């Protein structure tokens, strides 16, 4: 695992996901409504827009452009128009640091779109 510091835990709130770039990969760091922090690919699979400019609702991040809501656990869109998932990256919290490993996206193939197994 090659985890890289993405930001501080205090840099990300439910109201404000944060876009970071790690090894040339745009990642959206998102705090869900329960307070857990997630890392998903920042580029919407429907259009070339930044998901970190979207809206958190529970465990989803809604694209501001056309409303597809992506699961923060699986990266799958739960509604159209997007139909392809974004990658989900492992997050480790070390003190106040949010560490993200973009080299090992989480294998979500055994999960349902909403994150249930």
Q: How far is the CB of 88 from ligand FES (least distance, A)?
A: 17
Is residue 65 a contact point for ligand FES (CB under 6 A)?
yes
Cα distance between residue 29 and residue 7, in whole Å: 8
Is residue 26 a contact point for ligand FES (CB under 6 A)?
no
Is residue 63 a contact point for ligand FES (CB under 6 A)?
yes
Q: How far is the CB of 61 from ligand FES (least distance, A)?
A: 10
Using CB under 6 A as the binding rule, the residues of this chain from 71 to 90 that contact ligand FES are 81-82
Cα distance between residue 110 and residue 74, in whole Å: 10
What would the two tokens of residue 38 be?
């997630």
Q: How far is the CB of 53 from ligand FES (least distance, A)?
A: 10
Question: 88, 103, 100: which is closest to 8 by C-alpha?
Answer: 100
What is the b/e burial string over 71-99, where b = at least 16 CB atoms within 10 angstroms of the residue's CB? bbbbbbbeeeebeebbbbbbbeeeeeebb
DSSP output for 42-70: SB-SSSS-BGGGSEEETTEEE-TTT--EE
Nearer to ligand FES (CB atom), residue 4 or residue 50: 50
Is residue 56 a contact point for ligand FES (CB under 6 A)?
no
Using CB under 6 A as the binding rule, the residues of this chain from 29 to 48 that contact ligand FES are 44, 46-47
Residues that bind ligand FES (CB under 6 A): 44, 46-47, 49, 63, 65-66, 68, 81-82
């Amino acid at each position: 695992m090659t985890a890289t510091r993405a930001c501080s835990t205090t840099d990300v709130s439910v109201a404000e996901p944060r876009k970071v770039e790690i090894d040339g990969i745009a990642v959206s760091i998102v705090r869900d409504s329960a307070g857990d922090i997630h890392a998903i690919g920042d580029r919407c699979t429907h259009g070339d827009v930044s998901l970190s400019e979207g809206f958190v609702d529970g465990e989803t991040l809604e694209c501001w452009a056309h409303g597809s809501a992506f699961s923060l656990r699986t990266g799958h869109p739960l509604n159209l128009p997007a139909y392809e998932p974004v990658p989900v990256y492992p997050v480790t919290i070390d003190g106040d640091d949010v560490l993200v490993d973009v080299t090992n996206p989480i294998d979500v193939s055994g999960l349902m779109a909403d994150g249930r197994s």
